[in-house]
Chains A and B, each alone.
Chain A
């Protein structure tokens, strides 16, 4: 019994060590991958910020600790990786740091809320409770800052 407990303890310790080494390896690889570009183009503060944020992103996959994932979930509801991929559709974009991706994600959330409320004003005018596509279309037509959406909605 005592020896079994001892063995289990050692085994779990080894597992923790392996896990930690795996994570450290990932971090090292990440640093190696990103560092050359960052050294050339970004201030010293940014590489660390990016590195930390990448870890935030990685946490959910490892399932090591739920708290950070919750933190991230509260900060943005939209997945940052998806936002970054959308941003990369711009062929002229060279690189965006993590703060920029975060701000775009938050801006998109505000945009969705704003467009939803604007659309709902047309729904309410019709004495309805369900927003229809035509309500969204009318909202887009009515707001000057949404001119960029003309034509873009028909692809």
Chain B
């Protein structure tokens, strides 16, 4: 039980920052309130997950996808979240794609660098 509760914890610093960003500058949050919001957030994550799992089972697939999460949020009356999440997902996919591409080009440039280094070493040895 203790282990399970601890597993629910999200990092306090991040929770605090997210809360602060949502509020006017003059506002502050008591420790108890921050703990309550953090707990609610963890429960929300599990609630969305288990609802998405149930949805996926109805549709006969086992792996939960972003589409399942978005559909679940709509059904759970959090449809106001969906537009910005859809935008975030597009950005995410773009970043993942760019990352893959930059990695591929990095390998090419590494090969080129090695070739240059060998040439340089050979050139330096020549005078001796």
A46 to B62, CA, bound (A): 14
A148 proximity list for chain B (CB < 8 A): 43-44, 47, 76
Q: Could you mark each residue 64-78 of chain B with 1 if its beta carbon is under 8 Å from any beta carbon of chain A, else 0?
A: 111011100100111
Contact A75 B91 (CB under 8 A): yes
0 or 1 for each of B42-72: is its CB under 8 Å from A? (1 = yes): 1111111110111001000111111011100
Q: How far is the CA of A110 from the CA of B18 in the complex (A)?
A: 9
Let me know if B30 is at the binding interface, CB within 8 A.
yes
Q: Which residues of A contact B61 (CB under 8 A)?
A: 41
Number of A interface residues at 8 Å Cβ cutoff, please give it. Answer: 72
Kindly identify which residue among B14, B19, B66 contacts A103, using a CB–CB cutoff of 8 Å. B66
Residue contact B41 to A120, C-beta cutoff 8 Å: no
**CB interface residues, A 126-155, toward B, < 8 Å:** 129-133, 135-137, 140, 144-146, 148-149, 152-153, 155
When distances are taken between beta carbons in the complex, the residues of chain B under 8 Å from A22 are none
Q: Which residue of A lies closest to B24 (CB)?
A: A120
Question: Is the pair B11, A92 in contact by a Cβ cutoff of 8 Å?
Answer: no
Of the candidates B27, B39, B64, which one forms a contact with A95 in the assembled complex, judged by CB atoms under 8 Å apart?
A: B64
Docked CA distance A9–B15 (Å)? 46
Task: Determine which of B36, B46, B57 lies in contact with A133 in the assembled complex, contact meaning CB atoms within 8 Å.
Answer: B36
Contact indicator A133/B32 (Cβ below 8 Å) = yes
Known contacts: A41-B62, A89-B7, A136-B36. The answer to whether A108 contacts B44 by CB under 8 A is: yes
With an 8 Å Cβ cutoff, the count of chain B residues facing the other chain is 72
Central interface residue in A79, A131, A137, by most chain B CB within 10 Å: A131
Contacts of A152 in B (CB 8 A): 39-40, 43
B96 touches A111 (CB 8 A): no
On whether the beta carbons of B53 and A100 are closer than 8 Å, the reply is no
Shortest beta-carbon distance from A46 to chain B in Å: 8
Contact status A99-B11, CB under 8 Å: no
Interface 0/1 of A61-75, CB less than 8 Å to B: 000000010010001
A106: contacting residue among B4, B40, B50, B88, CB under 8 A: B88
Is the CB–CB distance between A131 and B40 below 8 Å?
no
B residues with a Cβ closer than 8 A to A are 4-5, 7-8, 10-11, 14-15, 17-19, 21-24, 26-30, 32-33, 35-37, 39-50, 52-54, 57, 61-66, 68-70, 73, 76-78, 81, 84-85, 88-89, 91-93, 95-96, 99-100, 103, 110, 114, 117, 121, 124
- Taking beta carbons and an 8 Å cutoff, which residues of A are in contact with B? 2, 6, 9-10, 13, 16, 20, 41-42, 46, 48-49, 52-53, 55-56, 68, 71, 75, 77-79, 82-83, 85-87, 89-90, 92-97, 99-100, 102-104, 106-117, 119-120, 123, 129-133, 135-137, 140, 144-146, 148-149, 152-153, 155
